[in-house]
Amino acid sequence: MPKLGMEPIRKAALVQATIHEIGRAGSLDVTVSQIARRAGMSTALAHHYFGGKEQMFLAAMRHVLTLYGAEVRGALATAEGPRGRLLAIVRASFSPGNFRREVVGAWLNFWVLARTVPEARRLLDVYQGRLRSNLTHALRPLVGTGAGERAGALADGVGAMIDGVYLREALKAGAPDGAAAVAMVRAYLDAELGESGA
Amino acid sequence: MPKLGMEPIRKAALVQATIHEIGRAGSLDVTVSQIARRAGMSTALAHHYFGGKEQMFLAAMRHVLTLYGAEVRGALATAEGPRGRLLAIVRASFSPGNFRREVVGAWLNFWVLARTVPEARRLLDVYQGRLRSNLTHALRPLVGTGAGERAGALADGVGAMIDGVYLREALKAGAPDGAAAVAMVRAYLDAELGESGA
Amino acid sequence: MPKLGMEPIRKAALVQATIHEIGRAGSLDVTVSQIARRAGMSTALAHHYFGGKEQMFLAAMRHVLTLYGAEVRGALATAEGPRGRLLAIVRASFSPGNFRREVVGAWLNFWVLARTVPEARRLLDVYQGRLRSNLTHALRPLVGTGAGERAGALADGVGAMIDGVYLREALKAGAPDGAAAVAMVRAYLDAELGESGA
Amino acid sequence: MPKLGMEPIRKAALVQATIHEIGRAGSLDVTVSQIARRAGMSTALAHHYFGGKEQMFLAAMRHVLTLYGAEVRGALATAEGPRGRLLAIVRASFSPGNFRREVVGAWLNFWVLARTVPEARRLLDVYQGRLRSNLTHALRPLVGTGAGERAGALADGVGAMIDGVYLREALKAGAPDGAAAVAMVRAYLDAELGESGA
DNA sequence: AATGAATGAGCCTTCATTCAT
DNA sequence: AATGAATGAAGGCTCATTCAT
């Protein structure tokens, strides 16, 4: 009986390596060689487990998205009150983990990837859908019950704001500042909901 | 007789071709061959005029940024009142020209490029600085004069919002909707400034 | 208890799989993976039993040749008269089994293999020698006894004719037509021996 | 103005090199590297001119077929009488040029190629069609005019015989013997037509 | 000014083969 | 007996870039 159960280990290593290398290069111009070397295996094995470069990218993207999703879910679990839930989502979006150089690189490039690779777009759609749903749920109790669509529209605004702030933090010269990012979205929320909207 | 003044013509053709091809590919995975072919010349000539692929990208980026700057300036020239100036900037940011498929592709990829190529980052910084300055000028009369920094902070918020909304319009499935984008930022402004803030 | 006598079973499966895959590919561009998968085992086991790809090819060739030899022998056993024996050989050469897509592929490629791999050439020589011997025996009573070498020369002619007709049937567009092939060689024999040469 | 008109020269060199290397390897297991090296250029240039390996093979095949066709045509031009024309075709088929090691290798492998690559099959069909047409024309005056189809059937027989004899000469151990090959087909013709059929 | 010619470097991918278990 | 794991070695192909004309 041969060495068994390597597949998940190898795959995980490759996913990590892919994210890392994308972050290092700052773009998708990353070779399978680089990824495999960092993951400590031959390119042949990398192909064996993933079948191709694109699928490594997709797996990496899925991983980043999953982590983010888990972070949001975790934050929501302990959050109290509608406003608390709202802030929890925002904070999770700007957590240190999401600002790690590699992860930033990954996000930036996934946006590009989504324009070309259908599966990448699908993943992004899922992520945006979930974010919107979470935000809408949290917002509904805070906006007048009469305005049925208000929560959804606001959720879109917050979502866009999150992306825009993230993008700017990601592109600015120095180290990203998660707290400032949160503050900026918070100010937006305060303006929209009224500052006392606890 | 040798043709005189070919250089600017050729360069312009190459810049257009570069933008077009980036838009077509949806990424920077564009070959010099493709660009040169679309520009109607040999790759050798393309290199002769630009010295390399990266500099073609940068020239294309410079061009897009210049066009955008001109659009903003033009809109500001005829805008009336602080609020009018504010809206002019927002509208210019979401003008049809900025949502042409190629231009969207260009922007997306310039963001990626900026993480790797210093000159690209510089260009992006200049653009963001100008936008911030324009927004701050327009906002100052609208926010209480007492709050010295309020205008600047708000300008950052609007800037982020513009980027975020643009990103989402760029990535969504159907055709981008400039009017909806404007409306979204406008709602943000209304909330921050009060809807009557003419 | 360890399974006993797996070796011949595994080897037979691999030989079948090899022939099948060669036929499917239409060439020797067949991977050990494909063969092993079709044979229902790992590539490692395939190597274990045969030591290498080339030896799988040779075993497959040997198998095809053996089958053909058995077919000829069987046909000769029940054939009556010299002319009957002759026709038996021809018919066996163009039997449906020999025109199965995989077998045709095998033959075609063995010819190529024979130019490179000595053992393949040896096998082909043995086959041709046996065919010639069979044909000569059958022809001797039919040609004037005086012409000592006539039978041998004629056997060569018939042999070449068989190969040529087989090649053409193998390469032609539609399904091979064994009966037509037999008829063609028969016409040749009739011309050489006189049509009444029973 | 650059060095001009290299294309036909390079292509010719590549075709020669392809044939040579196929002959040397005895199979289609030939790398573009080998071909390009023998042709004295980089693999990149080889790809530039032919677009891919398969097209090099096809060009080589086309070349061999063209040469053979020219040989037949030349021989027919000076042949006298129906029988003379017949023999001219046979002799051309077994000319020294067709038995050069590389050419033999090429033929053998084209047969294999024809089973996989449609264009290769097409080329082979054209060749066989032309051969059949030439043979039929030459045979018609020699067979009784009454038997309309006799010439065609005989042409098929002669064609198969030519292929079969060629195959055997190609595969046999020593140097191919063109004269013997001609003699063998001639004997077939004599038997079919009567030896006096001048 | 312009380009056909040419290439070195490199990338993704495949595959026969080996090894530890 | 059997196989998952692993890789070295290549192979086909692409591309940015250079050069001679």
User: What H or E segment, with its residue span, contains residue B42?
Assistant: none
Kindly tell me if the per-residue pLDDT of C198 is higher than 70: no
pLDDT value at position C197?
45
The dihedral built from the CA positions of residue C59, C102, C111 and C84, taken in this order, carries a sign that is: positive
pLDDT tens digit string along B153-166? 999 999 999 999 99
Residue nearest to nucleotide F7 (CA to C1'): A42
pLDDT value at position A57?
96
- DSSP per-residue codes, A92-144: HHT-HHHHSHHHHHHHHHHHHHHTT-HHHHHHHHHHHHHHHHHHHHHHTTTS-
Separation between Cα atoms, residue D94 and residue D166, nearest integer Å: 7
Which window residues (121-140, chain A) lie with Cβ within 7 Å of strand F? none
Q: Which residue type occupies D156?
A: D
Partner B contacted by A163 (CB < 8 A)? yes
Q: How confident is the model at residue D173 (pLDDT cuts 50, 70, 90)?
A: confident
pLDDT tens digit string along B104-116? 888 988 899 998 8
Kindly tell me if the per-residue pLDDT of A1 is higher than 70: no
Select from D27, D160, D191 the Cβ nearest to the Cβ of C165: D160
Q: Which chain D residues contact residue C128 at CB under 8 A?
A: 168
Q: Which nucleotide is nearest to D4 (CA to C1')?
A: E4
Lowest model confidence (mean pLDDT) among A50-54, B146-150, C110-114, C181-185: B146-150
3-class secondary structure, D26: coil
Q: Which chain C residues contact residue D25 at CB under 8 A?
A: 116
User: What H or E segment, with its residue span, contains residue D150?
Assistant: helix D150-171
What is the mean pLDDT of the segment spanning A134-145? 88
Residue nearest to nucleotide E19 (CA to C1'): A2
Q: How confident is the model at residue C50 (pLDDT cuts 50, 70, 90)?
A: very high
Q: Are A116 and A61 in contact (CB under 8 A)?
A: no
Q: How confident is the model at residue B196 (pLDDT cuts 50, 70, 90)?
A: low
pLDDT value at position B168?
93
Partner A contacted by B93 (CB < 8 A)? no
What's the CA C62/C1' F2 distance, rounded, in angstroms?
26
Specify burial of residue D96 (Cβ count, 10 A radius: 0-12, 13-18, 19+). exposed
- Tell which residue, A98, A108, A101, A100, has the closest CA to residue A27: A108
Cβ atoms within 10 Å of A13's Cβ, excluding its own? 19
The token pair that represents D118 in the structure block: 């449609």
What is the mean pLDDT of the segment spanning C57-61? 95
Buried b (16+ CB within 10 A) or exposed e, A148-178: eebbbbbbbbbbbbbbbbbbbbbbeeeebeb
More confident residue, A46 or A174: A46
Q: What CA–CA distances, in Å, run from D154 to C193, D139, D140?
A: 17, 8, 10
State how far Cα A81 lies from the chain centre: 24
Residue C57 C-beta-side C-alpha neighbours within 13 Å: 27
Residues near B149 by beta carbon (within 8 Å), at least 6 away in sequence: none
**Interface touch A112/B108, C-beta < 8 Å:** yes
CB-based touch B/C (3+ pairs, under 8 A): no
Separation between Cα atoms, residue D135 and residue D157, nearest integer Å: 10
**Interface touch C161/D163, C-beta < 8 Å:** no
The packing angle between helices C32-39 and C43-50, to 10°, is 100
Separation between Cα atoms, residue C135 and residue C87, nearest integer Å: 10
Partner C contacted by D180 (CB < 8 A)? no
pLDDT tens digit string along B26-73? 899 999 999 999 999 999 999 999 999 999 999 999 999 999 999 999
**Interface touch B188/A157, C-beta < 8 Å:** yes
- Tell which residue, A93, A99, A100, A122, has the closest CA to residue A110: A122
- Strands (DSSP E) along chain B, which ranges? none
Q: Are C79 and C90 in contact (CB under 8 A)?
A: no
Select from D25, D116, D184 the Cβ nearest to the Cβ of C156: D184
Separation between Cα atoms, residue D156 and residue D172, nearest integer Å: 24
Which window residues (59-118, chain D) lie with Cβ within 7 Å of strand F? none
Partner D contacted by C160 (CB < 8 A)? yes
End-to-end CA distance of chain C: 61
Rounded to 5 degrees, φ, ψ at A185 are -65, -35
pLDDT value at position C35?
97
Kindly tell me if the per-residue pLDDT of C3 is higher than 80: no
Q: Which chain C residues contact residue D159 at CB under 8 A?
A: 164, 168
Interface with D, mutate which of C108, C112, C113 (most D CBs under 10 A): C112
Select from C112, C121, C167 the Cβ nearest to the Cβ of D164: C167
pLDDT tens digit string along D46-82? 999 999 999 999 999 999 999 999 999 999 999 999 9
Kindly tell me if the per-residue pLDDT of D2 is higher than 70: no
Q: Are A142 and A195 in contact (CB under 8 A)?
A: no
Q: How confident is the model at residue B197 (pLDDT cuts 50, 70, 90)?
A: very low
Q: How confident is the model at residue B4 (pLDDT cuts 50, 70, 90)?
A: low
More confident residue, A1 or A109: A109
Residue nearest to nucleotide E9 (CA to C1'): D44
- Tell which residue, D52, D42, D40, has the closest CA to residue D12: D40
Select from D105, D125, D164 the Cβ nearest to the Cβ of C161: D164
Which window residues (5-24, chain C) lie with Cβ within 7 Å of strand F? 6-7, 10
Partner A contacted by B152 (CB < 8 A)? no
Query: Left (φ > 0), alpha (ψ -120 to 50) or beta: where does B29 sit?
Result: beta
Q: Are B93 and B166 in contact (CB under 8 A)?
A: yes
Partner C contacted by D28 (CB < 8 A)? yes
C31 beta carbon to strand F: under 7 Å: no
